[in-house]
Every structure is written in C-alpha cells, then in structure tokens.
Amino acid sequence: MRNLKSKHNKWEDHYSRQAKKEQFPARSVYKLKEIQQKYKIIKKGDRVLDLGCFPGSWLLYAADLTGEKGKIVGIDLKPLSKSVLLKLPANTKTYVCDVLSIDEKDQKIIKAVGKDFNIVMSDMAPDTTGNKNVDAARSFNLCRAALSIAEDLLVDGGSFVCKIFQGEDFKEFIDLIELNFNKYKIFKPQSSKKSSKEIYVVGFEKK
Ligand SMILES: C[S@@+](CC[C@H](N)C(=O)[O-])C[C@H]1O[C@@H](n2cnc3c(N)ncnc32)[C@H](O)[C@@H]1O
C-alpha cells in the first residue's frame, strides 16, 4: 500500500514539476502534447477552438504551435487569470460561457471570431461526484455539446479532440464520431492517470 502511494505521488510530482518548470498553469498540457506528437493535428497558421480552456495550458501550447498567423479561441465557465492572459499572444481570444447553454449572444461572438476552425478540442470535465456512472453521463453530455459545436464550426476535413469519461454511453459517442469523421482514434496519454476513466477521442477529416 505504502509503495503504491509513493509511486502515485512520484507520478504526480513528475508532471506537475515539469509544468511548473515550463511555466504552464496545469500539467494537462502534457496530454495535448502527447496527442500532438502522435497525430500532428495542429499546424502553423491553424484556427483552433479550445472548449474548457481554463486554466490555459492547452491555449498556451496551441498558440505556440499555430504561430502568429494562427487564431485561437478559448471558452470556459471560468475566466483565465491575468498572468495567463498576459502570456497569450494577441491572436488569442477567450470567452466565459457555458457550452451547455450557449445563448444567441454567445453564438454571435464565437461566429464573429471565426467559424472556420481547423481544430476543435475539448478537455472539458464535469464536477465529479465520485459516482462513476453519474460522472460518465455528465462527461458524455459535455462531449455531445462539444461535438455539436464542432459540427457547426469546423471546416470540412478538420480535426476534433475530445476527452470523455468512459461509461455506458461511450459506444454511442463513438457512433456519433463515426457519423461525422472519416477516421478516428482512441488514445490514453501516459500523462493521464491510469486510475482515471478519462480517454481522448480524436476525429480526423470532418465529413
Ligand atoms: C481539465 S480542465 C481543462 C484544462 C485545460 N485543458 C488546460 O490545459 O489548462 C476542464 C475545464 O472544463 C471546464 N468546463 C466544464 N464544464 C464546462 C461547460 N459546461 N462549459 C464550459 N467549460 C466547462 C471547467 O470549468 C474546467 O476549467
């Protein structure tokens, strides 16, 4: 038991320490880095929509990859800290809104910023309850909302990255992905806790 605990802490320390060292606000950045290393989804000049962008690690990393000719839009329930906003380049815009209830005003703002995104990515996670079925159902709800946004705002041929907590709706989500994308992969990054039900679905070539 003691061994298991110290192993787990060591794992946490590694990614947290690395994030601190590289000045990312969260170690979740390494999950996107692994996805990028494997599938090369983000390219220079791309337009990227990041759903669930707080505290901003994915935004910082994506902004670096797309460069000054790219465009990044982030959405979250929570506003980013001033220190993170200061680090983001001018071609990044962030909005505080709930993807489960995007009203007409929010829609207009997002569309005005750009609707032809090359990549829509969602690292959204619900507040967890400890009940795996409830958490997975809430995650599925967020994934459906993210996919519906991707359907509207992704260019044909664009890519979609989405975190989901595996549960009984997982197969239904994959069916929806198959309907909307020519190819897809399911990926568990090494930086994602083995004990976590989270997994990433990457859709390629939006139909
Ligand atoms: C794991 S964090 C994302 C971390 C981020 N990718 C990063 O690297 O900094 C998940 C985020 O999803 C957001 N979220 C959850 N439900 C949401 C919703 N309905 N609308 C918008 N954002 C939501 C949460 O507020 C939280 O900040």
The domain covering 26-206 belongs, at the CATH homologous superfamily level, to Vaccinia Virus protein VP39 (3.40.50.150)
Question: What does the angle CA 92 – CA 76 – CA 29 come to, to the nearest 5 degrees?
Answer: 70
Q: Compute CA distances 103 → 98, 153, 178, whole Å.
A: 9, 16, 28
Q: Which residues does the annotation mark as catalytic?
A: 163
CA of 162 to the centre of ligand 1 (A): 12
pTM of the model: 0.93
Residues 47/65, Cβ–Cβ less than 8 Å: no
Give the distance (Å) from ligand 1 centre to CA of residue 177: 21
Check pocket membership of 198 for ligand 1, CB cut-off 6 A: no
**Nearest CA among 150, 142, 140, 131 for reference residue 174:** 140
- 112-151: per-residue pLDDT in tens? 777 799 999 999 999 999 999 999 999 999 999 999 999 9
Confidence category of residue 154, pLDDT binned at 50, 70, 90 = very high
pLDDT at position 9, please?
56
What are the sequence ranges of the domains in the chain? Answer: 26-206
